[in-house]
């Protein structure tokens, strides 16, 4: 398997624009996570899905953020409208099973909002 | 709320020296603890996963211990090499669902 695949790898956008980040989890994995990494706050969980259903979105910072998982092989994280403070690296991760299983991370999307 | 701390934030050692990385967490009711490696501009790679019922896990030159009662884990890397230079992060899972709570990481530099 190619691992968790994220696109794009880099995104530069202007404030106010809509940004969509994409993730393809490892085939067969039933959990998908979106994390954000910044220098100030480190790695934080934004939202996670189990069998395509959002389970916990308490980490989503504002209503400007939304995430979907229309099927087992694809998820999106959307920011609308984007703001400079959204600049960060966004990681998608997947795992199989609900306990004691390793999480596999994608390479991340580096988002810069100017 | 679970808090995870890694001290020191950065560490520099000469090649061949053993590395000792520390991780502490405030809530001992965890399912497991995981150690990750992150190279600059890259994603995270899982190194070791220690279940709450285990005391340690080993993989090659890596050994991780877990003392749940004191809220501590230590990652040992034997005979460090320049290729071990990276940021090492620990994370705990508190409940079913594999939600990870991360520490801030320790940035390691192994000098040739």
- Chains A & B: contacts with CB separation below 8 Å: 66
Is the CB of A33 less than 8 angstroms away from the CB of B99?
yes
User: Which residue in B98, B99, B104 is closest to A42 by CB distance?
Assistant: B104
How many whole angstroms separate alpha carbon B105 and alpha carbon B107? 6
**Mean per-residue pLDDT for B29-43?**
93
Q: Which residue in A44, A101, A110 is closest to B98 by CB distance? A: A101
A97: left (phi over 0), alpha (psi -120 to 50) or beta: left
Lowest mean pLDDT among B39-43, B56-60, B71-75: B39-43
Residue B104 contacts A where some CB pair is shorter than 8 Å = yes
Q: Which residues of A touch B87 (CB under 8 A)?
A: none
Q: Is the pLDDT of residue B96 over 80?
A: no
Residues of chain A with pLDDT under 50: none
Task: Check CB contact of B99 with chain A, cutoff 8 Å.
Answer: yes
Answer whether residue B50 shows pLDDT above 80: yes
- Beta-carbon contacts of B95 under 8 Å, excluding residues fewer than 6 positions away, are B31
Least reliable range by pLDDT among A63-67, A107-111, B1-5, B84-88: B1-5
For residue B88, give how far its alpha carbon lies from the nearest alpha carbon of chain A (Å): 12
CB B12 within 8 A of CB B109: yes
């Amino acid at each position: 398997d190619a691992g968790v695949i994220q696109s794009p790898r880099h995104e530069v956008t202007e404030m106010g624009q809509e940004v969509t980040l994409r993730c393809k989890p490892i085939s067969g994995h039933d959990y998908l996570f979106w994390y954000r990494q910044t220098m100030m706050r480190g790695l934080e969980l934004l939202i996670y899905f189990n069998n395509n259903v959002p389970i916990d979105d308490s980490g989503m910072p504002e209503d400007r953020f939304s995430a979907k998982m229309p099927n087992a092989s694809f998820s999106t994280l959307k920011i609308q409208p984007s703001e400079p403070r959204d600049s960060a690296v966004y990681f998608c991760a997947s795992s199989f099973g609900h306990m004691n299983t390793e999480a596999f991370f994608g390479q991340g999307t580096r988002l810069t909002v100017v | 709320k679970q808090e995870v701390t890694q001290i020191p934030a950065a560490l520099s050692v000469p090649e061949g020296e053993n590395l000792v990385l520390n991780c502490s967490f405030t809530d001992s009711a965890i399912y497991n603890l995981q150690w990750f490696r992150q190279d600059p501009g890259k994603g995270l790679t899982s190194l070791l996963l220690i279940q709450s019922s285990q005391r340690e896990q080993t993989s090659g030159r890596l050994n991780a211990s877990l003392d749940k009662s004191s809220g501590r884990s230590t990652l040992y890397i034997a005979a460090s090499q320049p290729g071990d230079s990276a940021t090492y992060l620990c994370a705990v899972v508190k409940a079913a669902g594999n939600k990870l709570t991360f520490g801030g990481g320790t940035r390691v530099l192994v000098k040739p």
